Structure 1
Amino acid sequence: MFLLLPVAYGAIKGLWKGLILEVASLAALVIIVVFGVKLVSMASPTINEWLGDSAGFLPFLPYLLVFIAIGFAVRFIGLLLKKTVNLTPLGLLDKVGGAFFGALKWGFAVCLLVYFANIAGLDTAFATVKESTVYPFYIEAAPSAWAFVQWVIPVGRDALGAL
């Protein structure tokens, strides 16, 4: 039952944020990871001119600035879309979809944690794990979740190479 707490948290948080902001936050993270490296290499010379080496922080400062800029831009667009949807009768659908997507996102994260815990050989002989009704589901779904991550990462590399 303990493994369902993060899923319940994700559902509640998704209900508050709505589907549009949940998807926007995930999209911002993917955009930052995939395209951030390219944008950092473009922004680094300009930031170096303005600030100098900044005591060795030059590689981190542009990435932080790009991270913040992309995060704010995607969040702003998401908020505009959310406000537009809330003016229509689709606001309830946004909330319900957000709860579902939030639960799915957190369940996916727990699934990956369980997968890596098993790979690392962490002891799962605890009584609570053995008696859990949810743990076997996570164990069965974890390899598929990791395969999905491996499928998404090359797509990001291809997109980065296209830039």
Structure 2
Amino acid sequence: MSYLDIFLIIIIGWGAYNGFLKGLIKELASILGIIFGIYLAKNYYSFLDQKLYLLFESEANYLSLISAVIIFLLTIMIFKIVASFLTKFLKLIALGLLNKIIGAIFGVLKSLLILCVIIFVFSKINNAVNIIENDKLQESLIYTEIERINKFVIEKNYTEKGSEE
């Protein structure tokens, strides 16, 4: 086991720990809040932008950015509030521990997904710049497994999307 493996295990363990502390409901709400926040901000910022323009009577370019940020943050806050109520409800009906255990599993999956993206980007940069020797990277069991998953999932979709254009 290499130092890189230990580092990756710590990140995955941290994901499990955070997932256990938050529980499945809050973990899902955080991801869904970000996804819906981006979607709503992208599609509805112009509506709020017009309202802010009328309110402040300013033609500043930053009103669009402020509108998008407000929508994004409000969406995340709403998801967090709903998740808190659902988590309290699960505790009331004695499903709090199950929520935490599944949250830990989800936290591991979430941290693996984040590592997949980071390693995908890092491997592209490393191939061009050679930050870490490939021999050192191949010594890591976890890194090579994540790279294998990336070749199957991310690169397949990445190259298919790029070749369609």
1:117 is aligned to 2:122: yes
Gapped regions of structure 1 (runs ≥ 5): 151-163
User: Going by fraction, where is helix more abundant, 1 or 2?
Assistant: 2
For residues 140 and 42 of structure 1, the distance between their equivalents in structure 2, rounded to whole angstroms, comes to 44
* Structure 2 counterpart of 1:155: none
Letter in 1 for 2:143: Y
- The question of whether the paired residues in 1 share the 8 Å contact of 2:23 and 2:99 is answered with yes
CA RMSD of aligned residues (A): 2.1
* Structure 2 counterpart of 1:12: 17
Q: Secondary structure at the match of 1:18?
A: helix
For residues 123 and 76 of structure 2, the distance between their equivalents in structure 1, rounded to whole angstroms, comes to 33
Q: Structure 1 segments of 4 or more deviating over 4 A?
A: 147-150
1:52 is aligned to 2:57: yes
* 1:149 shift after superposition: 7.8
Letter in 1 for 2:49: S
Match of residue 134, structure 1, among 131, 142, 152: 142
Cα deviation per residue 1:3-22 (whole Å; 9 max; x = unaligned)? Answer: 22211111111111000000
Aligned length: 150
Larger radius of gyration: 2
* 1:55 shift after superposition: 4.6
Match of residue 99, structure 2, among 90, 94, 103: 94
For residues 76 and 148 of structure 1, the distance between their equivalents in structure 2, rounded to whole angstroms, comes to 37
Q: Secondary structure at the match of 2:63?
A: coil
* 1:133 shift after superposition: 1.5
- The question of whether the paired residues in 2 share the 8 Å contact of 1:19 and 1:98 is answered with yes
- The question of whether the paired residues in 2 share the 8 Å contact of 1:10 and 1:99 is answered with yes
Gapped regions of structure 2 (runs ≥ 5): 159-165
Aligned in 2, Cα 1:127/1:142: closer, same or farther, shift over 3 Å? same
Aligned in 2, Cα 1:86/1:145: closer, same or farther, shift over 3 Å? farther
